[in-house]
Amino acid sequence: MYEFIWGGETAGWLVAEPDYSNATLVMTGRYKKLAIDNALMVMYALATANKGAVLFHAAVVSHKDKGYMFLGPSGTGKSTHVRLWLEHIEGTELVNDDNPVVCDGVVYGSPWSGKTPCYRNVSYPLGGIVVLSQAPYNKIDRLNGLQAYVALVASISGKRWDARIADGLHATENKLATEMPV
């Protein structure tokens, strides 16, 4: 069971089957859209976790037929970085600014976006993943397998206390960390 709260007010409760194939959403108050959006996102992330699909907290742009994903905690500049690509790199387009889906090395737009409304039904082979952090200098290093794995885990939505879901997430994280430039 999940409770969705907005501004201190309960928007709804999601009661899901153990495999997340079916659920009931009970909505309360005035935040019905929030309850529906969050219920769908939770159901999708958890129902597909053991099928090789993961929902990231990330921003994504496309450039030259590849998708580039920017990860990092809230406030590290993911949206700012994307904006700079859009402004300064010709041919760049926004794919999603908050919750893209990755499956089998392909990044997809999703119906869940962040501050910038961007609901695009598009997909691109993933060209690379950039992990952002705030610093007084600019620097980029390629992460090795374990470093890449740790960086990915922090940005993937999912419930780690369920062994089936955790196993699926770990398999996907491991595959991305070893096959994708991070």
Render pLDDT for 25-49 as a digit per residue (tens, 0 to 9).
Answer: 999 878 998 899 989 998 998 888 8
- The DSSP call for residue 156 is B
Evaluate if residue 100 carries a pLDDT over 70: yes
Mean pLDDT score of the chain: 90
Label residue 109 by pLDDT band (50, 70, 90).
very high
CB-count exposure of residue 133 (10 Å: 0-12, 13-18, 19+): exposed
Sign (positive or negative) of CA dihedral 166, 171, 172, 176:
positive
Label residue 160 by pLDDT band (50, 70, 90).
low
Tell which residue, 35, 44, 45, has the closest CA to residue 14.
35
Tell which residue, 101, 99, 100, 97, has the closest CA to residue 52.
101
Residues 6 or more apart in contact with residue 42 via CB below 8 angstroms = 2, 14, 16
Q: Which amino acid is at 66?
A: K
